[in-house]
Structure 1
Amino acid sequence: MKIFGSSGTRGVAGEELTPEFVLRVAKAAASVWDADRVALGRDTRTTGAMFSDAAAAGIASAGVDVARLGVTPTPATVRYCEDESIPGVLITASHNPPEYNGVKLVGDDGIELPVDRLERIEGALVAETFDAAPWDEVGGTTHVTDANEDYVAEMLATVGREAIADADLTVALDPGHGAGALTSPDFFHELGCEVVTVNAQPDGHFPGRDPEPVEANLGDLGRLVRAADADVGIAHDGDADRAIFFDERGRYVEGDASLAALAAHTLSAGDTTVAAVNVSQRLVDVCEAAGATLELTPIGSTNIITRIRQLWAADESVPIAGEGNGGVFFPDYRLVRDGAFIGAKFLELLAERRESVSEIVAPYGDYHNVRLNLVYDDERELDAMLAAAEEYAAAADATPTTIDGHRLDYGDAWVLVRPSGTEPKVRIYAEARDRDRAAGLAAEVHEALDDAR
């Protein structure tokens, strides 16, 4: 897919992403879907209202009604789609910088569209095979005002509310000025937690920090945890489908470590979990200890969702899945990444174990990651490096995975080589419990590719 990629379509607003393009995407989706009504939600970005208007026009022009949800977290829009059995259009760029925006499409089952259905819509968009309703049959518009409230209420009825309340936890929360600012503070308060916040005002300029919840952007949250003597810090991205944690000392917890802790708590023998090909050794080790199977996919939430649906069709149990960026799925609840729900599941773990965050993630902290990049000037150099990567993988005494580049698993460590999807670079990732082991693997691959270049 050239347009939708692995998690919708995104670009700088007014340059790569224009209202005209968004209108055409929405019109193509409404033309392909067999639906009388489509949900439309957005995050807090300054261009969100403009692009929502464009999407609403495209949907209505195809003769389909529009249910406008306003500013909602992605999981709240997804919940609405599932409960109403209608597809949805989300205007969001998730974790991208403020100048970006994007479009994500959801089916009437409340799940992001799989690759084959996205390709149908992409085909209609490219060929411009749009439905065009006559003047007296264009779609109408309704404004839905309770989508966020219903989303919070459903989560409260699903998680271990009493156990969390009994644990008497203080939560430091950073919604990052995104859509989660409208829901997560109330949700964690209703769980019986004391809640203190930073960057909790919805603001599409993102004045406090950039939307991506990475360590470099979350200094305020670490300081808030320490100042408030909080038990845990929780941060979201722009559309609140991720949760990143800080421990009780205000220290950043790597997403791979929190995913491993949640997986160890959730997986049983015979279960399957799904992760992207850059999965941490932490999750590999957890699956081996639990007797669970780990399935790898190309990087991107769309690919993970598609694989989970395939496993469901084969009657496989998939209680947890996700990536180390804070995007965790609990498919038995809903097949969507949900930052607030992920946070609540982590609070359940704290309440059950009666341990601190640092104690819970300690078994998953002693892993070392190395990342190297090789820049190329033209396709000739890229082809030479990819050929060298293939030759290196063929000669390695390791288990290969080639679904997205070349991943080589050595049992105690792994190394991955793949071309960037957004920059003229080939990326090398390596991880091991021993720092020198990870650095050595990465350096050896780097040398082989650099020589070829």
Structure 2
Amino acid sequence: MFGTSGIRGAVGDVVTADLALSVGRAVATEGYDRVVVGRDVRESGEVLGDALVAGLRECGADVVDVGVAATPTVARAVDWLEADAGVVITASHNPATDNGIKLWNPSGKAFGPEQRDAIADRVEHGEYDLTGWDGHGSRRTNPDAADRHAEAIRETVDLETTPSVVVDLGNGAGRVTADVLDELGCRVRTLNGQPDGAFPGRPSEPNEDTLQTLMATVAHTDVDLGIAHDGDADRMVAVDETGAFVPKDVLLALFAREAASEGDRVAAPVDTSLTVDDALAAVGASLTKTPVGDVYVAERATDDDVVFGGEPSGAWIWPEETLCPDGPLAAVKLVSLVAERGPLSELVGSVDTYPIRRDSLEVDEKGAVMAAVSDLVADRFDEVDALDGVRVDRGDGWFLLRASGTQPLIRVTAEARSAERADALRTEAIELLEAAQG
């Protein structure tokens, strides 16, 4: 039921009001007595949210409803509002046809595997502690969560200069970014600023293909950088002052290098580029690898010597601030870096990059296919990491095959220090996958 990023799927098929009701009942029955609930801008979120709240209250939990809000706003509010858990109705960067449910702890960390399994088990078996007529929980609203989030972000930076920024909100829930930058004195322009769960301006996922308007706007105006979020603003990506999209691995390297110093560690998943290893080595720090998924990065970020965590997907975690990926916080951190260190294009140019190939191949029975892949790889190679999927170190490069946590896909990643070798490793990985399917 749960993938690496909570429950997610097509509305009316995978994600229904009945499922939301059941999840609400399960969360309350598991002993989470006070729960913060919010949702992104998708219209289906209103129905799903009402069903989830009904399930929570029916099993005795009190609900604090923060309404439409960015996912990091809701995740942070769990602690601020002295709640036991938080729930966001969101499909994050998925298309408008989808929605989902993600659960949060007071620390800002998403529910871990054991917590998710407990909820899934109750939903599967219908085991809930339904209350009588006089035992239902209460529901109240709290419209101040976004203001509190903005205040917390403002306190993390002190801008020496005030760069000009274009913020592409993707018709999503990330307005707090534009508000904070404006309050800090930056000249802010917005794109796709009207909340709309159909995402008419561009697809929800921010990447080089979907951000052509942002890239052109930055290239043809006198601004210092562009920022973009997905539908619930847990992700943040960037465009430099020339209008060029900043590769996500490079952005991870920039954030990691800035946060870390001698002896520190940075947490990132197994599909992270050698670019990050090299950037950290230059400052005497190191990378600790995790399974793919922000919950695993956040878990590792609780270690005392881990000062930052990130994923090439665009999720960034500063554990001293919060354990949830916080797109608005990342946006302000990046603007602060540009204000202090100079043009983003020059910062990007200071990071060594290597050819990396990423593919997603649709398969039937991805679990069985990955089991076959694991057997083949174990027979053929010595340097194998099975932390998440199978990652094979070939000395002059590496490749990774892993099952998507939310879709019927096998992700293939290959990287080397030359394009020819990266292509060869990609081919080797795909041939392994084809052999496993056969």
TMscore range, shorter length: over 0.9
1:414 to 2:392 alignment:
no
SS at match of 1:104: strand
The gaps in structure 1 that reach 5 residues or longer are: none
Q: Map 1:270-289 onto structure 2 (within 5 A).
A: 270-289=263-282
Distance 1:377 1:283 in 2: 33
Partner of 1:173: 167
Normalising by structure 1, report the TM-score.
0.91
Matched-pair contact (CA < 8 Å) for 1:115–1:306: no
Aligned counterparts of 2:73 and 2:121: Cα–Cα separation in 1: 28
Of 268, 288, 293, the match for 2:286: 293
Q: CA deviation at 1:382?
A: 6.0
Partner amino acid, structure 2, of 1:438: A
Instruction: Rate the CA distance shift 1:377–1:82 in 2: closer, same or farther, 3 A.
Output: closer
Deviation at 1:411?
A: 5.3
Is 1:20 the counterpart of 2:18? The answer is: yes
Greater shift, 284-293 or 55-64, is seen at: 284-293
Question: Could you tell me which amino acid in structure 1 is paired with residue 260 of structure 2?
Answer: L
User: SS state of the match for residue 345, structure 1?
Assistant: helix
> Could you tell me how far apart the structure 1 residues matched to 2:62 and 2:406 are?
36
Aligned match of 1:123: 121
Q: TM-score of the superposition, structure 2-length normalised?
A: 0.94
Counterpart in 2 of 1:65?
A: 62
Q: Which runs of 5+ in 2 are unaligned?
A: none
Cα distance change on mapping 1:57 and 1:358 into 2, 3 Å:
same
Match of 1:43 in 2: 40
Matches within 5 A, 1:75-224: 75-86=72-83, 87-160=85-158, 162-163=159-160, 167-181=161-175, 183-224=176-217
On the 8 A contact 1:198/1:224 being kept in 2, the answer is no
Shift in Å at residue 274 of structure 1? 1.0
Write the letter of the residue equivalent to 1:415. Answer: F
- Cα RMSD (Å): 2.0
Counterpart amino acid of residue 305 in structure 2: S
Identity of matched residues, %: 37
For residues 98-148 of structure 1, the C-alpha deviation after alignment (integer angstroms, 9 at most, x for no partner) is 111100111233332222222222222222221211112211211111111
- Would you say the 8 A contact 2:267–2:297 is kept in 1? yes
8 Å contact kept, 1:41–1:68: yes
* Residue in 2 that maps onto 1:232: 225
> 1:15 deviation in Å?
1.2
Aligned mates of 1:136, 1:350 — CA distance in 2: 57
1:439 aligns with 2:437: no
Distance 1:422 1:386, change over 3 A: farther
Q: Structure 1, residues 333-382: CA drift from partner, whole Å, max 9, x if none?
A: 111111111011111211221x2111101133632112355665668766
> 2:272 touches 2:311 (CA, 8 Å); kept in 1?
yes
- How far apart, CA to CA, are the structure 1 residues paired with 2:311 and 2:223? 26
Distance 1:351 1:100, change over 3 A: same
**Contact kept? 1:196, 1:228, Cα under 8 Å:** no
**Which region of structure 1 is more displaced relative to structure 2, 363-372 or 77-86?**
363-372
- Tell me the distance in 2 between the aligned counterparts of 1:421 and 1:281: 23
Relative to structure 2, which stretch is displaced further, 56-65 or 426-435? 426-435
Q: CA deviation at 1:293?
A: 3.0
1:319 correspondence with 2:303: no
The farther-off stretch of 117-126 and 255-264 is 117-126
367-376 or 287-296, larger mean C-alpha shift: 367-376
1:272-421 matches, within 5 Å, as: 272-309=265-302, 311=303, 316-353=304-341, 355-364=342-351, 366-372=353-359, 384-394=372-382, 399-410=383-394, 412-421=396-405
Counterpart Cα distance in 2 of 1:222 and 1:376: 34
Give the letter for the 1:361 counterpart: V
Q: Is the 8 Å Cα contact of residues 73 and 180 (structure 1) preserved in structure 2?
A: yes
